[in-house]
Every structure is written in C-alpha cells, then in structure tokens.
Chain A
Amino acid sequence: MSRTFSFGALARRPEAGAALGLFAVLIFFAIFGGVTFLKPSGMASWLNVAANLGVIAIPLGLLMIAGELDISVGAMVPFGAMTVSVISGHYGLPIWMGIAAALSFGVIVGLVNGFLVIRTAVPSLIVTLGTLFAVQGVVLGLTVLITKSTSVALKTEGVAKVMFGDFVLGGQMQVMVLWWLGLTALYVFFVHLSPFGNWVFAMGGDKVSARNAGIPTERLTMVLFVLSSTSAAFVGMCQAILYNSAQVAGGQSFIFNAIISVVVGGVLLTGGFGSVIGIFFGTITFAIVTQGIYYTDFDRNWSSLIIGVLLLGAVLMNNTFRKMALSYAPKKGGK
C-alpha cells in the first residue's frame, strides 16, 4: 500500500491527458509564435478568455460528471448581462440590486432546469435546449419592450466595479481571473477533498445505485444546475459591468467552448469520470489555442481547425489514459 509519488500514478489521473495537451499546445505556440504569449502582457489575453470560460466550464463539467448537461448557459450569459444593465443602467437603480437580480435569475433558471430534469424523464440536453431558447426569447423580448433597443448601457463605480468589472495588475488582466482562480480552488476542495465530491461521481456512475446508497441525487442535481446557470449569469453580469454595456445577442459561443474545455479536460461525456484540475487545464488549453494564433504568422481563421484537431486528439488521448487507469493492477504482492 505504498503512497509514494510515481509517474504511473500521475498518468492514471483524469487530468493526465489534459496536462499533456496543454503542454503540447504551449510547445506548439512557443515554436510558431515565440514566447510573447507567456510574458505578462501576452498572458492577460488568454487568461481573460480562460477565466470567463472557466467559471462556467467547471460547474458544467461537474454536471457532465454527474451525467447531465446544461446548454442553457449560452442564454444565461446575456441574461445576466442584460438584467444588471436594465435594472441598474436603464432604470438607474442601485448596482447591488442589479447584481442581486442577475444572480437570482441564475438560481431560478437553474431550479427550473433541475426540476424539469428530475420530474420528467427528458434528457437534460433537450430540457436545457428548451430553456436556452426560452431564455433567449425572454431576454430579447423584454429588452426591446423595456428599452426599445438591443443594447443597454451601464455605468458602474466604486466597490462593485472593482470587484466585478475592473482590470487588475497593471490594467490588462480582468478581475474575473481572480474569481476564476478562487472558484477553482473552492471547486477542487468540494469535489476532490470534501465527501460531497464522491456523490457527484457516484451519480454519474450509476444514478439508481447512488440513490440506494443514500445519496440525495435529486437535491444534488438541483444544486449542480443552479451552480451552472448562476455561474453563467455571473459571467454575463461581470462582462456588462466591465464593458459598461450589454447586448441581447452573444453567449452561444460559451456552450461549445465550455463543452470543449470540459472534454479536453478529461471528463467522460457519459459521466462518472473527470476532475476539476483537468477542466482547468482544458480551459487554459482552449484559451491559448484561440488567443495564441494571434502571436503566430498563421491566419487566425485556422484556429478552428486547431481546436477541432485538439478536441479529437484529446478525446482519443483521454480514452487511452482511462483504459490505462482501468487496467492498472499493482505488481502481484505476497499471496
């Protein structure tokens, strides 16, 4: 029962493939783009992308580990942005009211998603596809009705601006990066260190057995849906505060980008396997590919090709690593 460090043990971890993928991408862009993107000024560009994506990708990844999916995050980003802008920009109410409303709507949509998934036997892909369109419709309809426009300005000052929508460390890195790092640490604690994480994995492995083992699977499903849609609303809200305005459109790109980050990060699409650190690596990898292309001589239109290849490569590599983990048996000890 040795618990010493070994490369074999590292390779069997869910994030092994993601770490290798990140490494490969770093090498690739260091060769073709120089090391500028690893200098503080260059880092901000992909860290900002990774942070906004990562805050959504981790709870989405947890849902996927638990065997569910939430694509309504694509509508929750503009919903969060528009809520705070309409309340605190258009109506001029205190910013904290706008923030509270944006997050509350996140909780409500999460509860609706969770409730529908639990009560109907409809797969969460379809349920959240429904809420994706429903929320998009509400955002567009209400915004135009209230403001007669599809874009709303928001002026924020003071603590709220500093906390949610400002730049830090010399003015290029968004404060979201700090949120992302802090939230990642919290998720690592809850998923991998606290006993609750085990429940998420058990649920994705076999929901019926998990319930029979006494895990409150329905409550946990609700919590995970609330986390993902509230996180998406949070990101939208922060973007509105950062850019001083909100648009009804946009946000759909988060759906695919977050799923790609999660899958590149080693989460098994059918549930039951993955890690927060893997998702973290997957998100950084994705962000570096989309931003690193600007530092190379390649036309940036090629970045989708790289992402496609990366995704397929990552899935194949993760499958290999998972098989290694499954077939691993320590050398026969004394009988």
Chain B
Amino acid sequence: MAAPILALRGVNKSFGPIDVLHDITLEVRAGEVLCLLGDNGAGKSTLIKIMSGVHQPSSGTIEMDGTSVSLPTPRAASEKGIATVHQFGGTFPLMSIGRSFFVGVEPTRGFGPFKVYDRNRANDIAVKAVRDFGITRIDDGDRLVGGLSGGERQSLAIARAVHFGARVLILDEPTAALGVKQATHVLRIVNEAKRRGLAVIFITHQVMHAMAVGDHFAVLIRGAVAADFHKGEKTREEITDLMAGGASMASLEAEIESYMNSHGGHPPPPAQ
C-alpha cells in the first residue's frame, strides 16, 4: 500500500504543565476521509493545529508521503498542500467571492506597472470552482462572502483549497453551526473532495455526519486515541458510547425509556 499522505507518529503536546495530547499515532491516505471524533476538550482542535503548522508537537514526528517533515508555520503547511477550513469558512466576509478566492494570488492583466486586478477572470474562476463542487446557487463573483449561507461559505473555502492544489483538507467542525440541509451540502462536498483524491480530516461530534462520509474513524478521549477503526467495524451506538467516554448511551436511553413507561410517557425532569 502507498505511504499515507500525512501521518503522525507518537505525537505528544503539552502547553506548559498541561498535557493535552498523548502519544497520538494517526494516518490518512489519498481519497480517504478520516473522521476525528471526540467530546469538547478532547484535544481535536489542538491535534489539527499541529497538522496545520499552528502548534509544534512537544515530541513525536509528522510524516508526509513517508518522510518526516516539520511544519513551522501555517504557511509552510499550506505550501505542502495541507489546507485548513475553519468553522465559518470564508474569513473575509466583506470581500467579494472573486477577491477573497484569490487573496494573495490575484490574477492580473496588462503590463508592468499597469498590471490591474483581473476581476472578470477572478470571478469566473471562483464561481466555476464552487459550481464544480455542485453549489450551483453561486453565480455572481461580485457577491460578498458574508452574504453567503454557512454551507455555501464552507463550500467556497473547500473549493478554494482544492483549486490551489491542497492534498490534505482539514475541516474543523464544518457542520456544527449548520442546519440539516446546509450540513448535507457540506457533506456532499466532502465526498466530492474525496472522489478527487484528497485526504480529508473531518472533525465533528455528530456521529451521523461522520458515518455519512467517513472511511476511517479515530476517537479522541482526553488527548489520547481511544479507538481507531474503519468503516463498518463499529455501529453508530458503539461510536456514540466511545465518544461519551464509555458511559453507555444505550443504557441511558434504556433508562429514559423505562422512566417514561412508568410515568405515563413523561420524560424525566432535566438533571440540575
């Protein structure tokens, strides 16, 4: 089998006295979606910040295509093809779609000192890139990014990363703030990125979303990989239980059900 595009080997991370990540070993391959699951505070964001050059591991190594690399800055990571899309997608809400798509690499026309920003070309390329991902509602590159829906913004950010040659796409809770329909959009785009051969690292704590696109799952509990398995190896209930740190969701559900049966269909009062 080909070497994984990106791999972490025995990565630890502490902030001063606080140990956040313990001995993390993970791999992600081309055309594969790795779902990173875990409760709030489990260390998911810290882990992807190490993969995107924001933090440096305290110990352990990062490998790309089988060779050890260092990612001293986010810029270094993005030059190596690791793109991170944050929860709210577009980061420049008051810029047009075309302008924000090409921030830092603006297309120009003309010569020498008279080079001007080629708005039509930027708009056309940006709009085409998102439309190729199936977001056909975007057809005017002059629209401001802030006016797009959450799902559209995510899609634009993903399309942008792919357009500029990303090989690894890191999505930090892209569906957390979205409604059902918008989340479906984003999941469809994750699938499209995977179909194009990208390695996708998808963070969520919605098991349904993970199951919809994931090939490979890693559950993080208090900074350690508690489980690492492939599609079809565990049921939804088992994954939910794992994420809850072992406290069985099924037994909780059974508890609620029996309460309701004995209280004429009323759910138990909320715990204080």
Contacts and interface: CB of A to CB of B under 8 A. Distances in A.
Interface of A: 1, 3, 9, 189, 193-195, 197-199, 201-202, 205-206, 209-215, 268, 272-273, 322, 325-330, 332-333, 335
6 contacts: A195-B108, A268-B94, A326-B93, A326-B146, A327-B147, A328-B147
B106 A198 contact: yes
B258 interface: no
Interface of B: 74-75, 78, 91-95, 99-100, 102-106, 108, 115-117, 120, 123-124, 127, 136-137, 139-144, 146-147
A212 B99 contact: no
B91 A206 contact: yes
A213 B95 CA distance: 15
Given A209-B103, A326-B144, A327-B147, 12 more contacts: A1-B141, A195-B108, A202-B103, A212-B74, A213-B103, A268-B94, A273-B94, A325-B147, A328-B144, A329-B143, A333-B136, A333-B139
A332 B143 CA distance: 13
Contacts of A272: 92-95
Which applies to chain B's interface (DSSP): helix, strand, loop or mixed?
A: loop
A325 B147 CA distance: 8
Given A212-B78, A333-B139, A198 B102 contact: yes
Contact of B95 (A202, A327, A330, A335): A202
B147 A326 contact: yes
Nearest to B141: A1
Contacts of A3: 120
B94 A209 contact: no
A198 B103 contact: yes
A221 B38 CA distance: 40
Nearest to A215: B104
A330 B103 CA distance: 23
A329 B140 CA distance: 8
Given A1-B123, A202-B103, A330 B94 contact: no
Contact of B117 (A194, A206, A212): A194
Contacts of B105: 213-214
A198 B117 CA distance: 9
Contacts of B94: 201, 205, 268, 272-273, 322, 326
A1, A199, A212 — most chain B CB neighbours (10 Å) = A212
A137 to B, nearest CB: 39
A197 B127 CA distance: 21
Nearest to A3: B120
Contacts of A327: 147
A335 B108 contact: no
Contacts of A213: 103-105
